[in-house]
Each structure stands twice: as C-alpha cells, then as structure tokens.
Amino acid sequence: AKALGKARYCLFNKTMHQIAVSRLRLETDLRRALERQELRLHYQPLVSLKTGEITGFEALVRWEHPEQGLISPDQFIPVAEETGLINPIGWWVLREACLKLRIWQLTFPRKIPLTMSVNLSGKQFAQPGLIEQVDLILRETGCDRNSLKLELTESAIMDHSDANSILENLRALGVKLDIDDFGIGYSSLDRLYQFPINTLKIDKSFVSRLDAGGRNVEIVKAIVTLAHTLGMNVVGEGVESSYQLTQLQALNCEFAQGYFFSRPLDSKATEALLTSQPKW
C-alpha cells in the first residue's frame, strides 16, 4: 500500500508539473500573440425577431496558435485576466471591431445601421483610464459610436463600487451598454434599476431549457418583463432550434443570437452572409 501511495504521489506530482508547464507556456505564447498578430475576431449575427433580419454582430476573439491551431476564448481569456494581458488584448479587440463596424456600415448600408457588440471583462471595466481609452479608440477608428454596444457581465458591474459613474461616463461617450449572461450572476435589482443599461442578454442556459417548458418558460418570461419594465431590450442567447426561436418571439423578446441562425464566422464569411441578406 505504501508503494502504491508513493506511485500515486509521483503521478499526481507529474500531472501538476505538466499543468504548470503548459500554463506557463500558454502565458508566454499569449504575451507574444499580439505582436505576432495571432489574434482573430469572429462575428456572430444578432437577429431581430420582428423582421428576421441581421441587425448587427457580436465580436468574439480567437487565437490562431502556430502549433495548436484555433484556441477558443474560454481557454485563454481567464489566463489573460490573471496576468493583466486582458488589457492589451481587449483594446486590440475593441479597435479591430470598431474598424470592421465602420467598413461594414459603409459597405452594407441599412435604414438602421448595423451594430457591433464587444465584450469587456471585469478587469477591463475596473481599469483606471477606461473611459479615455474607449474614447481614444472611437476617435481613432472613426466608427459610429451609437452603433457600438459594450457587453458587461452582472458580476463585472456588481463587483465594482463605483459602477454607476463608470457606466454613466461610458454612456456619455455615446455607446450602448448591454448586460451579458443575464440571470446566472447575482444582480441587485435595486442597483440594476439605476444603471444606464440598454439591453439584457438572457444567458443561453435559460434559452436551452425553454424546450423543457413549464418553469423555464416562466423564468424567461419574468426576465423579459423585468427588462421591459426597466426600459431595456432583450436578446435571447444560444438559440439552437426553431422551437426556441418561436418561444422567444411569443415572449416578446426583441433579438436573438445562436447557432440556429449562424455560428460565429470569420470576417470573409460574415461579409458573404451580409451579402446574401438572409431572413429567418
């Protein structure tokens, strides 16, 4: 038993060591990813449930690692947050998304101009100089600021004691503010009411459970009612079936996003999609 214990101990140690090494390599590689231009943006359409048309896109970052291929943000955003690399990465994402917004608004003119949604992490939200940096990127890229939507999670906002004044300052720049993954964090409804938020994005876990009916439908209904009472729009995230789409429509949700319409696409495929003018 003693020998076995020792063997287990070594195995455990080796695994921990491997994790530490690969984690360190990831960090070193991530540091170079920006200068080596390995980051990419993919775009997922946001669809109006009234018209069935694309109204905008959410920019989602990917990392084209020279050896490991395309790495999803869930695998490197947490490391980027721990190391502070989220700041340069986040600013790159914002700049790139603003440039695309400007080009696509010119190339694909609409009655209501296309929107672009960009994720801001909690670390970015808490960073001093945030307002100045966003303003600088808006001016340098010359994009239509009223069409830019910044997505923040409930925890990013609620964790911050001075959230309201930051949000007010962001809004004063002309951009829109959306709450991401709504329903899974802990929102103080009292504070939510005070915040200058335009849109609640219902977390995909609720949308996927719409199929089960019953209680799940009631929860989404309650979120939509809450949003509308507070003068906000609602996006249903992670729509994968026409049944979920119909349910969200029946519950008066304004927008939807999900694999049912399109997976996130690279820039070229997004342009092809816009050219084909799909209607759902």
Q: Which helix (H) or strand (E) holds 229?
A: helix 215-229
Instruction: Pick one of 144, 151, 154, 254: the residue that binds Ca ion (CB under 5 A).
Output: 151
- Report the largest interatomic distance among the alpha carbons of the chain, rounded to a whole angstrom: 75
Query: Which residues are registered as beta bridge partners of 60?
Result: 42
**Residue 168 in contact with ligand C2E, rule: CB under 6 A:** no
CB count in 10 Å sphere of residue 160: 16
Q: How many CA atoms lie within 13 A of 153 on its CB side?
A: 13
Candidates 181, 239, 261, 262; binder of Ca ion (CB under 5 A) is: 181
Is 246 among the residues that bind ligand C2E (CB under 6 A)? no
For residue 201, the minimal CB distance to Ca ion (Å) is 5
- Cα angle value 163/167/171 (rounded, 5°): 175
Looking at the Cβ atoms of 74 and 162, the one nearer to Ca ion is 74
Please report how close the Cβ of residue 86 comes to ligand C2E at its closest, in angstroms: 6
Minimal CB distance to ligand C2E: which residue?
258
Contacting residue, 35, 74, 162, 190, with ligand C2E by CB under 6 A: 74
Cβ-based nearer residue to ligand C2E, 92 or 108: 92
Q: Is the dihedral of CA 266, 269, 271, 274 positive or negative?
A: negative
Footprint of ligand C2E (CB under 6 A) = 44, 60-61, 72-74, 77, 90, 93, 119, 121, 180-181, 204, 238-240, 257-259, 264
Footprint of Ca ion (CB under 5 A) = 119, 151, 180-181, 237
